[in-house]
Every structure is written in C-alpha cells, then in structure tokens.
Amino acid sequence: MTRRVHEVMTRNPVTVERLTSLAEAARVMRDAGIGDVLVVDQGRLCGILTDRDLVVRGLAEDCDPAETTVQAICSAEPRTVGPDDHVDEAVDLMRRHALRRLPVRNGSGELVGIVTLGDLEVERDPGSPLAAIAAAEEARDRDR
C-alpha cells in the first residue's frame, strides 16, 4: 500500500513572518538545527527560505542581514502537497521541479508539516547513503 505524506513528513514546521530580518531567520535556523524556514504572512504560507538562499541571494548580493527581510530573498509561493497525498506524488513533484523540500498544507491551507528529500529517501530506501545521513541528522537534532 502506498504511504501518505503525513506518515513521513516533519510536523510543526518552523516559520518566520515575512518581515523577519535575514539575521533573525539565520538565528532561528541555527537554534533549531535546520536548513530552511517557511515564510508566512499572518500564518499563511508565502515563501520558503533556505540557508543557501541566505548565502546566494543575501550575503553574495551584499544585502544587510539586519535590514533585509526574508520576503526580499525567499522563494515565493512554493509548491505544496497535502497530508493525504501519496508519497509518490510528492516524489514526482520534487523531481519535476528540482525541489528538495515541500511544505504540507491541509485542505484549509493551514501549514501542518514539511516533507524533505531526506524524509522521502528514508521512506523509499532506508539503506541508502542519503537515508543514513538523514537519520544521523535527526538523531543529532534530537540530542541538542
């Protein structure tokens, strides 16, 4: 039987408001031990910001981390999946659009999780090198 996204996703994704500074978003990622945050406007998803975005779109472009908001450099309107979507659908969407993470929204648009390439690799091939890395990262994050 095909598994559903809610079975493999990370629940309670970390979010920041769209007017949060890059510096604060970086601190949030550091403190949570994660490489991305979902950008929201009054609780509604409006973007996703990764640690790579901070470097490539922020620092490399000489943006002031204390003054620039996440809204200015995040990927706006990210593709999403639903918690009851099949894992295969999430994999296909990630493959077609070269994505590493997908926010998960329920039918009313509320953020309920995030599914990552690592989550899906652990699901599809628990013995793969990527799955081993993802499991090690999860263990490290739990120990913090």
pLDDT category of residue 126 using cuts at 50, 70 and 90? low
Reply yes or no on whether the pLDDT at 44 is more than 50: yes
Reply yes or no on whether the pLDDT at 62 is more than 50: yes
**Percentage of the chain exceeding pLDDT 90:** 75
Kindly state the helix (H) or strand (E) to which residue 123 belongs, with its residue range. Answer: helix 117-124
Q: Tokens 């493959």 label which residue? A: 95
11-26 pLDDT, tens digit each: 999 999 999 999 999 9
Q: Tokens 């490290």 label which residue? A: 140
pLDDT category of residue 118 using cuts at 50, 70 and 90? confident
Q: Are 103 and 12 in contact (CB under 8 A)?
A: no
pLDDT category of residue 120 using cuts at 50, 70 and 90? confident
The whole-number pLDDT of residue 128 equals 55
The whole-number pLDDT of residue 138 equals 52
